[in-house]
Amino acid sequence: MTMLLELDHISKIYGDLKAVDDLSLTVPAGEWLAIVGSSGSGKTTLMNMIGCMDTPSKGSVKLEGRKLEDLNATQLADVRKNMIGLVFQKFYLVPHLTAVENVMVAQYYHSVVDEKEALAALDRVGLKDRAHHLPGQLSGGEQQRVCVARALINCPKIILADEPTGNLDEKNEKIVLDLFRQLHEQGTTIIVVTHDALVASCAEREIMLNHGVLVGEKWNDPAAKAAYEAAGGRPASTGSTAEDAQRGETAIGFADPTKAAKTGGEA
Amino acid sequence: MTNTGMFFRMLLSAVFRRRSRAAMAVVASLVGAATLFCLAMVCIAVPQQMNQEMRAYGANLIVTPAASTDGSGDKSGIGDDMVEHTTEMVTAKGAAKYATYRYENVRVNAAPYVMAGVDAAKVEDLNHHWNVEGDWPSAGKVLVGRDVADAMNLKVGSGITIGYRASDNAAAGSDASGSDGSGSGNSGSDASGSDGSGSGNSGSGNSQQMQDGRVSSDIMDTSGTEFRVAGIVDTGGSEDSIIYADADDVAKLTGSTRGADVIEYSVDLSGDDLTALVQSINDMTSMHVKAQQVTKITSSDTRIITMLQTLFWIVSLVVLVLTLVGVGTTISSIVSQRRNEIGLRKALGASSRSIGVEFYAESAVYGLVGGLLGTGVGYGFALALTTAVFQRSLGFNWWLGIASVVLSVLVAVIASVPPVHRATRIDPAIVLREE
């Protein structure tokens, strides 16, 4: 098992505020990782750094062994369009383009536009018959599915999803999670930022941030954990001196209160 | 579908599926283009109209026989073939009207006067400002200047006996034509009139001859040819002291046929163009003619046109700046509303350049549509204005129309440079940061 993503003591500092504090993490190809934590815990900042949309103040990010800090803006844009598929909480579809055109935008910036392929991607998320509707004519769940179709159209190595079900009802949440499950089964690496326990529990592995500090890590899939450790994978760690920080080689388990709320007390 | 096809699909979608915002930008361009085009059309039409009006105030170019080496003029005047040749040179540079004048010193009741042999139709066509009571001269009928009429108490229909003495014109013919040239430094019309009078005086001076050891004078000789007064001309200038007759009548009266002393041109040129024409005629020494501008006409013409053009440029500049501000503000607003979209495109891997190209192309479309509509509206306004003020129709100037549309596109693109430049520097992370 090779490590697709390696974070080596990365920090993001705004003045006196450490949005992410000295985090080290490795993610193998094909893993489904959830980054959980409350609002303001640094999840999105971490995701921006992984997605080449932001650079760490300290430390190093490696994607397929290539250090991102050595790349200029154009090269980072290339990495973004070639390796990463993005799914946002607020969907961020271009409002004056139809569903299929929104998917084709990703193709346009990546390589060559292929409408049939874009329609096939929409078919995959169950929206072929809504392909020529504008985002304003689609429900929230449908918009998020368009967003997923756009993320997977270029066959990215990683799908980064920021609160992908944050604006969806349970039915649409299930549809989107099923889509992620399918992508994961096909070997796509998925990193989901969420504070939703149900979404997090679908992932093989969860790490928890609190005020930018890694405070816990747990595996929901023992087989995946075993494979990870067998490949030389080590628990995530932080160099932070915060009291509850997860330092060293031992993972600290955690119970997410929101999970308890959603699952009826089952931690 | 190719990527180029997708580019235009995105472009047209942005324009036609966001109609209200697109309409704002188009209207801003339309107003600018309409104002600029209307202004330009009017300011091109006005100098042309002014030029035409000024042409009605007489000649702006006179041609006289060149002085010969001994200082005297060519007594045979400018022959018909040379008149034709000179006119060809003039009309090659611009539309022109012309009239020829043959000046002779004559006597009426023994008093000396200058008579001009003319083609009445051409003189009338050249001098719309002449106030003629009665008719223009024709065979057997003359047009007398107001001063002449007053001096002899002439009225339209009166008889007038005009005598010709060859001795009066022994040197006067050359005086008339030769000194016209020098006089025309001030004014062509003034020059020809006053010179004519001057030569008349000199003519009478020369009439004194020695006979049997005494000075013999025919000063009391009132014989001559009877003419009718067809009309009286009143210009307030030197024309008022001249008698105008049909060229054939003058030939009969003098008993000789010769060329013109002066050709007056009203040519549709001004400033440097007119100066160049004068120079080109004078450079042709083999023609034996001398061309001069009528400074009074050309300088006022040039001054008025220069003032109008200066006004045009100043107003145009102000309108251009206002258009830039208007279009710039509108585009800036549109770009600001699309910050998230720009951030998203960057997150999807778009380069700053490709985003810039997309927005500049979109601005160009707004400028193009606004420019086309604005040029049409501007032409409508210009047409209404020139019809109401100048009572003349206004043809569509295609070059100006194309320039107006191109300028609208340029203004829209230039106005969008600062907001688009700011937009392309948007950090894509803002799309994810927004909660």
Q: Do B348 and A81 touch (CB under 8 A)?
A: yes
- B7, B9, B349: residue with CB nearest A78: B349
Q: What is the largest CA-CA distance in chain A?
A: 54
Same-domain check for residues B258 and B123 = yes
A17: distance to nearest CA of chain B, Å? 16
Task: Give the integer Cα–Cα distance in Å for B408 and B320.
Answer: 10
Q: Do B349 and A115 touch (CB under 8 A)?
A: no
Instruction: Give me the tens of pLDDT residue by residue for chain B, a chain 435 residues long.
Output: 788 889 999 998 888 888 888 888 899 889 989 988 988 888 777 777 777 777 667 788 899 988 765 545 556 788 888 889 999 888 888 888 899 999 998 888 878 899 999 998 998 888 888 889 999 999 999 999 999 999 888 889 888 888 887 766 665 444 444 334 333 333 333 333 333 333 333 333 444 444 555 545 555 566 778 899 999 999 888 889 999 999 999 988 888 888 889 999 988 877 788 888 888 888 888 888 889 888 766 666 677 777 877 887 788 888 888 888 888 888 888 888 888 888 888 888 888 888 899 989 999 999 999 999 999 999 999 999 888 887 777 888 899 999 999 999 998 898 888 888 888 887 787 655 654
Q: How many domains does chain B have?
A: 2
Residue with tokens 């995701």: A47
CB A239 within 8 A of CB A8: no
Q: What residue ranges in A74-211 does DSSP mark as E strands? A: 84-87, 158-162, 189-194, 205-210
Q: Do B3 and A112 touch (CB under 8 A)?
A: yes
Q: Over chain A, what is the mean pLDDT?
A: 87
Same-domain check for residues B192 and B118 = yes
Whether the per-residue pLDDT at A72 is higher than 80: the answer is yes
Q: Do B1 and A115 touch (CB under 8 A)?
A: yes
- Residue B26 falls inside a structural domain: yes
Question: What is the per-residue pLDDT across A209-240, written as a single tens digit (0 to 9) for each?
Answer: 999 999 989 999 999 999 999 988 889 998 88
Residues of chain A with Cβ-Cβ distance to B351 below 8 Å are 74, 77
- Taking one residue from A and the other from B, the number of pairs with CB-CB distance under 8 angstroms is 89
Q: Which two tokens stand for residue B423?
A: 């937009």
Residues 77 through 96 of chain A touching chain B, CB cutoff 8 Å = 77-78, 80-82, 86, 88, 90, 92, 94-96
Which helix H or strand E contains A83, and what residues bound it?
helix A73-83
Question: Is A48 an interface residue toward B (CB < 8 Å)?
Answer: yes
SS3 (DSSP) at A150: helix
- The residue of chain B nearest to residue A118, with distances taken between CA atoms, is B1
A160: distance to nearest CA of chain B, Å? 11
Task: Give the integer Cα–Cα distance in Å for B10 and B359.
Answer: 11
What single-letter DSSP state applies at residue A129? G
Exposure of A206 by Cβ count < 10 A (0-12 exposed, 13-18 middle, 19+ buried)? buried
pLDDT band (50, 70, 90) for residue A261:
very low
- A73, A95, A109: residue with CB nearest B348: A109
- pLDDT at site A124: 87
Q: What is the ipTM of this complex?
A: 0.84
Within 8 A by CB and 6+ apart from B304, the residues are B47, B50, B54
Question: Is A24 an interface residue toward B (CB < 8 Å)?
Answer: no
Same-domain check for residues B332 and B421 = yes
- A53, A108, A112: residue with CB nearest B428: A53
- pLDDT at site B213: 52
Which helix H or strand E contains A26, and what residues bound it?
strand A17-28
Question: What is the per-residue pLDDT across A177-216, written as a single tens digit (0 to 9) for each?
Answer: 998 999 999 999 999 998 888 899 999 999 999 999 999 8
- The residue of chain B nearest to residue A114, with distances taken between CA atoms, is B1
- A74, A110, A134: residue with CB nearest B351: A74
Fold for the domain defined by A3-89+157-263? Rossmann fold (3.40.50)
Q: Of the candidates A130, A98, A143, A115, which has an alpha carbon nearest to the alpha carbon of residue B14?
A: A98
SS3 (DSSP) at A168: coil
Q: Do B429 and A112 touch (CB under 8 A)?
A: no
Range of the domain at B48: 3-53+303-433
Same-domain check for residues B46 and B22 = yes
Residues of chain A with Cβ-Cβ distance to B350 below 8 Å are 77, 81, 109
Phi/psi at B338 (nearest 5 deg)? -110, 25
Q: What is the largest CA-CA distance in chain B?
A: 128
Residues of B with CB under 8 A from a CB of A: 1-3, 5-7, 9-10, 13-14, 17-18, 340-341, 343-352, 354, 427-429, 431-435
SS3 (DSSP) at A141: helix
- Residue B298 falls inside a structural domain: no
Question: Is A106 an interface residue toward B (CB < 8 Å)?
Answer: yes
Task: Give the integer Cα–Cα distance in Å for A52 and A69.
Answer: 9
- The residue of chain B nearest to residue A161, with distances taken between CA atoms, is B432
- pLDDT at site B168: 66
Question: What is the per-residue pLDDT across A122-166, written as a single tens digit (0 to 9) for each?
Answer: 998 888 899 999 999 999 889 988 998 999 899 899 999 988 888
SS3 (DSSP) at A34: strand
Q: Which two tokens stand for residue B255?
A: 């008993």
Give the domain-ending residue among B234, B266, B293: B293
Q: Do A113 and B433 touch (CB under 8 A)?
A: no
Sign of the Cα torsion A102, A105, A106, A111 reads: positive
Same-domain check for residues B47 and B63 = no
Within 8 A by CB and 6+ apart from B335, the residues are B342, B359, B416, B419, B420, B422, B423
Whether the per-residue pLDDT at A60 is higher than 90: the answer is yes
Q: Of the candidates B323, B312, B404, which has an alpha carbon nearest to the alpha carbon of residue B45?
A: B312
- pLDDT at site A31: 94
Residue type at position B402: I
Same-domain check for residues B64 and B148 = yes
Question: Is A71 an interface residue toward B (CB < 8 Å)?
Answer: no
Give the domain-ending residue among B240, B271, B293: B293
Q: Of the candidates B85, B145, B435, B118, which has an alpha carbon nearest to the alpha carbon of residue B251?
A: B118
Within 8 A by CB and 6+ apart from B214, the residues are none
Strand partners of residue A208: A36, A216
Q: Do B14 and A110 touch (CB under 8 A)?
A: no
Q: Do B348 and A97 touch (CB under 8 A)?
A: no
Q: Do B13 and A109 touch (CB under 8 A)?
A: no
Same-domain check for residues B179 and B67 = yes
Task: Give the integer Cα–Cα distance in Å for B301 and B307.
Answer: 10
Task: Give the integer Cα–Cα distance in Å for B240 and B196.
Answer: 12
Same-domain check for residues B142 and B169 = yes
Give the domain-ending residue among B249, B270, B293: B293
Select the more confidently predicted residue: A181 or A244: A181
Question: Which of A39, A43, A47, A53 to mutate to test binding with chain B, by most B CBs within 10 Å of its CB?
Answer: A53
- Secondary structure (H, E, C), chain B: CCHHHHHHHHHHHHHHCCHHHHHHHHHHHHHHHHHHHHHHHHHHHHHHHHHHHHHCECCCEEEEECCCCCCCCCCCCECHHHHHHHHHHHHHHCCEEEEEEEEEEEEECCEEEEEEEECHHHHHHHECCCEEEECCCECCEEEEEHHHHHHCCCCCCCEEEEEECHHHHCCHHHHHHHHHHHHCCCCHHHHHHHHHHHHHHHHHHHCCEEECCEEECCCCCCCCEEEEEEEEEECCCHHHHEEEEEHHHHHHHHCCCCCECEEEEEECCCHHHHHHHHHHHHHCHHHCEEEEECHHHHHHHHHHHHHHHHHHHHHHHHHHHHHHHHHHHHHHHHHHHCHHHHHHHHHCCCCHHHHHHHHHHHHHHHHHHHHHHHHHHHHHHHHHHHHHHHCCCCCCCHHHHHHHHHHHHHHHHHHHHHHHHHHHCCCCHHHHHCC
CA B349-B351-B356 angle, 5° bins:
135
- Domain assignments of chain A as residue spans, ordered by start: 3-89+157-263
Task: Give the integer Cα–Cα distance in Å for A58 and A47.
Answer: 15
Q: Do A44 and B18 touch (CB under 8 A)?
A: no
Same-domain check for residues B313 and B258 = no
Task: Give the integer Cα–Cα distance in Å for B86 and B121.
Answer: 20
Same-domain check for residues B279 and B132 = yes
What single-letter DSSP state applies at residue A264? T
- A39, A78, A92: residue with CB nearest B431: A92
Task: Give the integer Cα–Cα distance in Å for A180 and A199.
Answer: 10
Same-domain check for residues B223 and B96 = yes
Task: Give the integer Cα–Cα distance in Å for B135 and B237.
Answer: 19
Q: How many other β-carbons are positioned within 10 Å of the β-carbon of residue A181?
A: 13
Distances (CA, A) of B58 to B53, B87, B184, B239: 10, 16, 13, 12
SS3 (DSSP) at A31: coil
Q: Do B434 and A113 touch (CB under 8 A)?
A: no
